[in-house]
Structure 1
Amino acid sequence: MSRQINAARSMKKVIQNLIVHIFLAITGFIWVLPIFFVILTSFRAEKGTYTSYIFPKNYTLNNYHKLFSQAGSLVFTKWFMNTLLVAIASCLISAFFVLSISYVLSRLRFKMRKKLMNIALILGMFPGFMSMIAVYYILKGLGLLENGPFKLFALVLVYSAGSCLGFYIAKGFFDTIPKTIDEAAYIDGATKFQVFKKITIPLSKPIIVNTLLTSFMAPWVDYIFAKVILGQDRQYYTIAIGLWTMLQKEFIQYYYTTFFAGCVIISIPIAILFLYAQRFYVDGMSGAVKG
């Protein structure tokens, strides 16, 4: 009797695992399908926006060549370098801001600390583009929207300043580091900055990588703020705006497949970063949950 019960339980567990794996396989296929379509279309030789078939009848690398040919109004290389410059600068400044604020709120105790954290939490609930018009006029009043290089600098300021509200994850990670380590360093004569620089930062590699990745992603994929600040100055466009121009009515028939080639190109740096930093990224998120 007990064997039959164990066999029934074992069979039930096998069926449950099978159902779960089938569901995950279907979900994974649905998730990968758009990526597969983008890659296929980037190699499609047929022009136009619509075909009645999924797999291209002819394949070509001309779509990728057209991206870097700098023909007409398409300056993809310039857009790529603009985005890379803004993303790297925003990434480094944002990481410094977020880690500094997170450390102060995690380790130091002062008046209004909890109230400031609550205010930041409430402000973080509102989407950033709600302040878009106010930010635009502030930057215009400062004279940062007069020419292209200043516009890129203004874009870095926008992304960096807005990152400070995302300190909660880093703070949660710092909370997991025992305070006894800091106290031992203070006894040995270390200052707060020395503790932050020589003890906390070396122990916080996962959250540093996590902060760098999230700070790098925002400029790389943002369209709304970049379009408002950069305006019509096409040579200073970021990738998101540049690719969007390919889908405008007057360009879409000619640049449709080139647009997909551009999507593949810009996904490569992000994919490399995530593959390289995946372990640190997961450790950073788990540390924040524990805190």
Structure 2
Amino acid sequence: MKVKRFIVSSLLHILLAFITFVWIIPIIWLVVTAFSGYKGIDISHFFPETWSVNNFATILFKPDSVVQYVTWFKNTLIIAIFTCIISTVFIFMVGYAFCCLRFPGRKQLMVFSVVLNMFPGVLSMIAVYFVLKSLGLTNSHIGMIIVYSAGSGLGFLIVKGFMDTIPISLRESARLEGANELEIMLNIILPICKPIIVYQVIASFLVPWGDFVLAKLMLNSGLSKDWTIAIGLYNMLDKSLINKYFSIFCAGGLLVSIPISILFIIMQKFYVEGVSGGAIKG
């Protein structure tokens, strides 16, 4: 039995190692290509024959009609920050309402919200586009913030799951001391919910930071100064540009991952606590 378990375990680890190797190959290729001295796409060599940091210098300090990375980065960062703040507030408030308040239709509304959240967002993209177009908010960063954050309250389930683990006696004691609902939410529930709030901040930040489909649909004026990073980098893959900008595209893809990686490393402890705590059924 020990030999059998050893063989099964070894085969499983070999399989996982192979899957990991296959998964990491494109990432390694992107990194080494970003440091290539050749600006186009070179499929004849996995590792570049010459190494250089000129691609990073070009994308950061030498903007042209195709590459305006700093402007795209600023646009994406503004949209992501405001979306992150608004979405986190919405989700926290909705989660608190469903967890801590009792009102007619609460369970029915909760079930409806969960079911509605199961439908893919792409199904509503065209309708959302025409609504924003009628309001004059297409090709607008404000419109993008509204699109990303307006329906964020439907993602309350993990936050509610975390709040369900907080003893009811804390809220009841506060009420006996004369605290109102707002004071209970801000002074008692909010400090305890720090891990799940950190999780929600990272999750809400990631949505606009890496989104392409919705951004491409909404920001369609053709003015590159309004683009996000995803649109700008995708534009470099045009068949007329790829042989001149592919290595620069790889450098931009590498740079765009740095801020969110740093944010995740700094907040990893709270992120894990938030996910595990929110998964507990109250």
What is the TM-score normalised by the length of structure 1?
0.91
Query: Does 1:108 find its partner at 2:101?
Result: yes
Segment of structure 1 superposing worse, 215-224 or 135-144: 135-144
User: What is the CA–CA distance in structure 2 between the aligned matches of 1:22 and 1:210, rounded to whole Å?
Assistant: 33
User: What is the CA–CA distance in structure 1 between the aligned matches of 2:35 and 2:105, rounded to whole Å?
Assistant: 57
Query: Does 1:182 find its partner at 2:176?
Result: no
Query: Does 1:46 find its partner at 2:38?
Result: yes
Q: How far apart are 1:17 and its partner, in Å?
A: 4.2
User: What is the CA–CA distance in structure 2 between the aligned matches of 1:52 and 1:166, rounded to whole Å?
Assistant: 46
User: What is the CA–CA distance in structure 2 between the aligned matches of 1:143 and 1:51, rounded to whole Å?
Assistant: 45
Aligned to 1:93: 86
Aligned to 2:114: 121
AA at the equivalent of 2:24:
V
1:37-186 matches, within 5 Å, as 37-68=29-60, 69-145=62-138, 151-186=140-175
User: What is the CA–CA distance in structure 2 between the aligned matches of 1:128 and 1:13, rounded to whole Å?
Assistant: 45
For these two proteins, the number of residue pairs brought into alignment is: 279
Aligned to 1:33: 25
Aligned to 1:206: 195
Aligned to 1:236: 226
User: What is the CA–CA distance in structure 1 between the aligned matches of 2:13 and 2:239, rounded to whole Å?
Assistant: 44
User: What is the CA–CA distance in structure 2 between the aligned matches of 1:137 and 1:206, rounded to whole Å?
Assistant: 38
8 Å CA contact 2:40, 2:243 repeated in 1: yes
Deviations 1:19-68 (A, max 9, x none): 44333333332232221111011111224324222111111111111112
Segment of structure 1 superposing worse, 31-40 or 168-177: 31-40
CA-based RMSD? 1.5
Deviations 1:196-231 (A, max 9, x none): 101111001110011101100000011111112111
User: What is the CA–CA distance in structure 2 between the aligned matches of 1:252 and 1:245, rounded to whole Å?
Assistant: 9
Deviations 1:120-158 (A, max 9, x none): 11211111121112111211222223xx6xx00110011
Q: How far apart are 1:255 and its partner, in Å?
A: 0.6
User: What is the CA–CA distance in structure 2 between the aligned matches of 1:241 and 1:72, rounded to whole Å?
Assistant: 14
Q: How far apart are 1:16 and its partner, in Å?
A: 4.4
AA at the equivalent of 2:18:
I
User: What is the CA–CA distance in structure 2 between the aligned matches of 1:117 and 1:25, rounded to whole Å?
Assistant: 42
Identify unmatched segments of 5+ residues in structure 2: none
User: What is the CA–CA distance in structure 1 between the aligned matches of 2:267 and 2:158, rounded to whole Å?
Assistant: 17
**DSSP-derived class of the 1:189 partner:** coil
Segment of structure 1 superposing worse, 32-41 or 203-212: 32-41
Query: Does 1:269 find its partner at 2:259?
Result: yes
User: What is the CA–CA distance in structure 2 between the aligned matches of 1:29 and 1:191, rounded to whole Å?
Assistant: 56
8 Å CA contact 2:39, 2:248 repeated in 1: no
AA at the equivalent of 2:263:
L
User: What is the CA–CA distance in structure 1 between the aligned matches of 2:204 and 2:31, rounded to whole Å?
Assistant: 26
User: What is the CA–CA distance in structure 2 between the aligned matches of 1:280 and 1:28, rounded to whole Å?
Assistant: 26
What is the TM-score normalised by the length of structure 2?
0.94
User: What is the CA–CA distance in structure 2 between the aligned matches of 1:35 and 1:286, rounded to whole Å?
Assistant: 28
Aligned to 2:247: 257
**DSSP-derived class of the 1:290 partner:** coil
AA at the equivalent of 1:42:
A
Radius of gyration: which is bigger? 1
AA at the equivalent of 2:249:
F
Aligned to 1:6: none
AA at the equivalent of 1:183:
E
Q: How far apart are 1:74 and its partner, in Å?
A: 1.4
Q: How far apart are 1:82 and its partner, in Å?
A: 0.3
